[in-house]
Amino acid sequence: NISNTHTSTSTSTSISTSTSTSTSSSVIAGDIITCKQDIVFVLDSSGSIGSENFAIAQSFVSNLVERLNFGMNNVHAAAMLFDSAVTLLTSFDGNKGNVINVVLDYMYPEGHTAGTATGVALNYVVDSILQPSNGYRGNGALVYIITDGKSLDMVDVAASRLHAVEGVDVISIGVTSAVNQDELAIIATDPSFVFLVESFSNLTNSLVEEVLTVPCVTFTSTSTTTSTSTSSSISTSTSSSTSTSTSSSISTSTSSSTSSSTSTSTSTSTSTSASTSSSSSSSTSSSSSTSTSTSSSTSTSSSTSTSSSTSTSTSSSSTTTTTTGEIVMNGAFELPVVEDGGFSLMVMGWETSDNAGVFRPKISNIMYSEPVPEGNQLLFLRGGSAQQTSNLKANQGDTIFISFYVGHRLDSPFNTLFFTITTPTGTVLLSGSVVESQVARGTFKFFTFSDVVIEPIFVSSVIVRMWTSSAQIGQANVDDVLVHVEKDGSSPAPTTTTTT
């Protein structure tokens, strides 16, 4: 008997973990926002400049404005002219296009001979422009003054008054050799804030970039992406093999006479795990005996393999982009400030028709049974309209949203409110209306409307318009108008949502 047994076991375990984190930031060349977000442009329009040079100065201011990031919570700008008197072009406005238009649209008078009263101009900035009634937000300002000559009045007292306003920095830009450099230094709040150029032709884009970095500047078009990836792998393999072979041979020989003998040997092997072995032998001999031989062989092989693998991969990506979210200027209609119970037919940042404006409900009144949603003032529309052009950017597939409160006075019928958001060429991007049955008397109700831009266009600005029909008797009140865009069509289909 021959017996052979073999057992083999093998186990292998592997653990692998990999973590990768990358962060990238990029600054996109484009709009600039200064650290002081209220900016005043004071432009000399005296007779010594002339119409040709004045047009260059207008373009220079326009280029300054073009490089700034305007919006409700960003830059607002005011602009004025001065010679022997002052001319206000615009109070603080958060709409870039409006500011550029009022600066470029001014026509320099032919045969103009007025002198240069710089002190008068500086006092006007203090007493009028840097006031809440003209939209000043009180967080400091940058004042750019551009002049070509010596002032006819004293500037030191006026400059001291302007410097005393908290958070104000003054940048003086002198053009031609006729300017008084000592005067420019008195006007500026720091010697490094004085700029001198030989002629109006030197008011170039390079000077635009230079003066905009005074005294501080940050870029807002910034994209930051962070990506983290973790991979973990665990693998275990076990193999066991057992083989047993037994061979048994029994031989019996009987002899009785001379004879022929045949000997046969047979071997059989059975193996599991796809292994089979067989052997056969035969022999013949001449003998006086008979021999029988039997051989039996059994082989068993067992193999077991276990493999376990676990792999985990986690990827996290975060992208932050500073964009213009809410782009409606004076959407709460708090400017101009009117007295308790008073009203104004002029609304800062909005173009209004007759029968439209802002008003402040009296504290003790019967108009509403609940407070004004945002601030103290409301837009009223009684057959009139209000609109503004806003710097909203959108592409095909983006979703435009508008939201606002609508008020239904206790003491007045309700006039159906209509609104549209259109491109400057008239393409309607979003429109809707609110009717009397949707707003209970004496209350305000919040509405949100949205729609996807389906036109294959790029939108760089929109016109937001709200109005009521003159055919109806009554009025609608509006508060807290907000407009924004969600990119890439990630928003749902067009919806209208109302929430009290």
Burial of 370 (0-12, 13-18, 19+ CB in 10 A): exposed
What is the pLDDT, as a whole number, of residue 223? 38
pLDDT tens-digit map of 52-62: 989 999 999 99
- Of residues 68 and 90, more confidence is placed in 90
* 447, two tokens: 């509405």
Note whether 18 and 215 are within 8 A (CB): no
pLDDT tens-digit map of 253-292: 333 333 333 333 333 333 333 333 333 333 333 333 333 4
Sign of CA dihedral 162, 215, 27, 67: positive
- Show the beta-strand stretches assigned E in 322-355: 343-344, 351-352
What is the pLDDT, as a whole number, of residue 210? 76
pLDDT tens-digit map of 149-190: 788 888 999 999 999 999 899 999 999 888 888 899 999 998
- What's this model's pTM, rounded to 2 decimal places? 0.42
What is the pLDDT, as a whole number, of residue 418? 94
pLDDT tens-digit map of 200-226: 888 877 787 777 766 554 433 333 444
- Of residues 359 and 114, more confidence is placed in 359
What is the pLDDT, as a whole number, of residue 135? 93
Work out the pLDDT band at 136, boundaries 50, 70, 90. very high
What is the pLDDT, as a whole number, of residue 338? 87
Indicate whether 326 pLDDT > 60.
Answer: no
What is the pLDDT, as a whole number, of residue 213? 66
The whole-number average pLDDT for the span 420-446 is: 91
Note whether 141 and 38 are within 8 A (CB): yes
